[in-house]
Amino acid sequence: MITLYHSPFSVSSQKVRMVLAEKNLDWNDQIIDLLAGEHLDEKFRKINPRAEVPVLESESNILVDSALINEYLEECFPEVPLLPQNPIARYKARHWSSWIDKNLHIASGIITYAILARPLILKQPTETIEYLLHSLPDATTRSWRRNVLDHGLQALEVKEAITQHRKFFNRLESSLTKAHAWLSGCEFSLADITALPYIMRAEHVGLGDLISFEEYPNTRSWYMRMQTRPSMQAAFIRYFDGDTQDLLMKLVVAAQPEVNELMQQDISITKGSNGQS
């Protein structure tokens, strides 16, 4: 039996849950409360010293890194294929995963931390906040989280993250050249599963205006098709009850005026760099 250690809010966890759902696999549900710091506890760090979710346990093997976990699931359970047979299409699917990991993943984490996590963390005692920071094994993550805690949405990392999201949206639109295309070509694949959580997160934290229907029609069409897949229920919807949605909405609404200002600044900078008036 497969066991998945994950968080409902983790985009990396969401990728793996969607693959499990697409492949109709049964698995044990082990939720890790990131806000409470459960990923930093000694018990969990024995499973993954990097203190990151998701972690998949299968046949006494411990697997980390969502992209590699999904490749493992693809190889072990090929009955529902999520990688195309065509070598170029397979390359495109894998390249999307690599590009997102290198260029977007941290940016998404920064936006999420600034808008959703920071207001809740700041309500905790100072010693708890310091524990959560100092227990992080990665120095780069400690650095940007400290800066975001100190400066909120005005942190330089937040502004850079918004710019990185616009690059992602532009890349999506240029890849989805037809109204009913998928990211690796004509077939739904791991590429689409990898990209979906980041679009959803952008929408949920108030960056949806960066992806207008006028400028990004193919991306919007793809996003609507993705939301109709049956796997959405098992991978996403079941983990967000009414109380959770209300809390997230309050946090996003509170941040929205400042987020809108930052998006306008990014649009102005983008137009300026393109030589537009």
List pLDDT tens digits, range 153-190. 999 999 999 999 999 999 999 999 877 899 998 899 99
pLDDT at 272: 58
Task: Output the pLDDT for position 241.
Answer: 87
Report how far residue 31's alpha carbon sits from residue 28's, in angstroms, rounded to the nearest whole number. Answer: 10
Q: Which of left, alpha, beta for 181 (phi over 0: left; psi -120 to 50: alpha)? A: beta
Domains along the chain?
Answer: 2-76 (3.40.30.10), 87-273 (1.20.1050.10)
The helix/strand count (H/E) of the chain reads as 13, 4
pLDDT in tens, 35-91: 899 999 999 999 999 999 999 999 999 999 999 999 999 999 999 999 999 999 999
Strands 27-31 and 61-64: unpaired
- Residue 182 DSSP one-character state: B
Q: What is the DSSP letter of 117?
A: I
Single pTM value for the model:
0.94
What is the phi-psi region of residue 182: left when phi exceeds 0, alpha when psi lies from -120 to 50, beta otherwise? beta
Q: In the predicted model, what is the mean pLDDT of residues 186-205?
A: 96
